[in-house]
């Protein structure tokens, strides 16, 4: 299993709505993520800065590279674009994090 982590930036005052939308995540999006090899995905918020910290575990033979082209993923990004910093295509702006320590 591979583990990756990255950050995203939430807009000020959007934490409650961000949580609400994720609490009601579309079942078909959950299925797409599982089909793409994602097995565990968590997002945490630093409330002071609005920084979102995401960590996910994926299968070695994952299909995550094709997610940005999938219409369902694009629709989700469009739905979330008003809450977070995004690119022109509504994809959340992310910054990959470098693993520094892991205690199994």
Active site residues: 22
Residue 52: closest CA among 96, 9, 98, 97: 9
Nearest to 89 by CA among 65, 66, 73: 73
Question: How far is Cα 84 from Cα 91, in angstroms, rounded to an integer?
Answer: 10
Q: List the 38-46 sheet strands across, edge first.
A: 38-46, 51-58, 2-9, 95-96
Measured at the CA of 42, the angle between CA 34 and CA 46, to 5 degrees, comes to: 155
């Amino acid at each position: 299993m591979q583990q990756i982590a990255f950050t995203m930036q939430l807009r000020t005052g959007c934490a409650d709505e961000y949580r609400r939308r994720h609490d009601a995540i579309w079942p078909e999006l959950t299925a797409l993520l599982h089909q793409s090899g994602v097995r565990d995905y968590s997002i945490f918020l630093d409330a002071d800065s609005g920084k979102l910290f995401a960590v996910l575990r994926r299968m070695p033979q994952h299909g995550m590279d094709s997610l940005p082209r999938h219409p369902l993923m694009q629709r989700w990004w469009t739905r979330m674009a008003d809450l977070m910093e995004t690119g022109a295509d509504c994809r959340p702006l992310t910054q990959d994090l470098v693993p520094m320590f892991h205690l199994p």
